[in-house]
Structure 1
Amino acid sequence: MSGPATGQDITLQAGDTAQIHIPVKDDAGNYVDLSGIQRARWWLGKSAKATGADVYLKKDSNSTMVCDDGVTRNQVEWEAFETDKWRLVVHLKGADTETGVSPIPKTGASYYHEAEIVDADGNIATVSTGSAELVASIVRNL
């Protein structure tokens, strides 16, 4: 596997439950078989160089969470969604993006997100990078 898919921009509605689907492909555009990976991680932060408190969300396939529907899932999962097509699925609860509840400082700003996988041999590969925007919700009066 080589470089990440760049420009994988996402928009999140503040306070909404969400699943982020990240297709993982090689340089030729072919889906990468993820059945043998041992770990996947996804982070959202202030910028690509963010550290400490400027990394707002960290999701890891080695950690579980109780989702808003009451089901316990890994924070990041990988799945085959069609024959030979694989993707990462990042689970977000409403509280992950709710302004005033989550560590994300405000709506209307552009943030950075990144996903990586660790294969069976321990090799780390960044598979997706892009911007993320958190959009205000009138229903929640944000």
Structure 2
Amino acid sequence: MGTDVLDEGPFYHGTKADLQVGDLLTAGFESNYKPELIMNHIYFTALANGAGLAAALAKGDGCERVYIVEPMGCFENDPNVTDKKFPGNPTRSYRSREPLKIVGELTDWVRQTPEERQKWRERLAVIRADLNAEIIN
């Protein structure tokens, strides 16, 4: 665990991928926010509804899924939201270069309404269009 990360979880990862307990999630895939960027980290949160939002905004046609994950190595506060957008880490968002192991699936979280999803997609479109909006990778 990173030296300034005090969160002990549980941790969640939202996606549309159909995965199994024991599978590993790894870095090295396209960013959901800047598709031309290959991510050096895998992202996760200690907020189930935050992972649900990530699942709703994820690419693909699969069902929205929230997996309970266990970091397999060190992790740190996500600098893309921590202090850059929100003081501290109220979103309880983290990232790691090490894999996340799926230890279960959560089926009960607050799902976004179609209107809420559309608002988030519009916000993401603004981020994608802003050439100065850097993602810390």
TM, length-normalised to structure 1: 0.26
Greater relative CO, 1 or 2 (CA 8 Å, sep 6+): 1
Q: Which has the higher helix share?
A: 2
TM, length-normalised to structure 2: 0.26
When Rg is computed on C-alpha atoms for both structures, the one with the higher figure is 1
Q: Which has the higher strand share?
A: 1
